[in-house]
């Protein structure tokens, strides 16, 4: 069965990783409560700059930053749209968004929605 995935690439200052983790854990719980199947945040470990492009170059990574690659899995695009509408209206998320400066630069974040093409794995 094909799923729908929202993917994100985010530059995060090294001194704000703990704050980012706290924010992501809280946000992930909200997405899961509203129906997302998976919520995953990953911290760069082996993402060297390339000659033309790379994860660091894609977010114009600066000294003292790293890259976070994240994804949220849904049953379908329709279900994703429904979940995201509920999440955006959730007062907990609104509170997080209004509570001050986020622990990353949202202007350099990029994201998009994808239909899965191939899904392999022990659980699939």
Set out the domains of the chain in order of their start, with CATH numbers.
4-63+70-115 (3.30.70.100)
pLDDT of residue 124: 58
Core vs surface per residue 27-66: b (16+ CB within 10 A) or e: bbebbeebebbebebeebeebeeeeeeebbeebebeeebb
- pLDDT tens string 7-28: 999 999 999 999 999 999 999 9
Tell me the pTM: 0.93
With the C-alpha atoms ordered 3, 5, 92, 25, is the resulting torsion angle positive or negative? Answer: positive
- pLDDT tens string 99-114: 788 899 999 999 999 9
């Amino acid at each position: 069965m094909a799923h729908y995935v929202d993917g994100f690439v985010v530059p995060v200052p090294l001194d704000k990783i703990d704050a980012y983790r706290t924010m992501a854990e809280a946000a992930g719980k909200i997405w899961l409560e509203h129906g997302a199947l998976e919520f995953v945040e990953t911290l760069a470990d082996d993402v060297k700059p390339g000659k033309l492009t790379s994860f660091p170059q894609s977010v114009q990574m600066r000294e003292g930053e790293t890259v976070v690659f994240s994804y949220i899995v849904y049953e379908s695009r329709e279900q994703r749209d429904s979940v995201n509408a509920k999440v955006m209206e959730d007062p907990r998320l609104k509170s997080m968004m209004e509570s001050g400066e986020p622990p990353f630069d949202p202007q350099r974040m990029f994201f998009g929605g994808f239909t899965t093409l191939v899904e392999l794995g022990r659980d699939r």
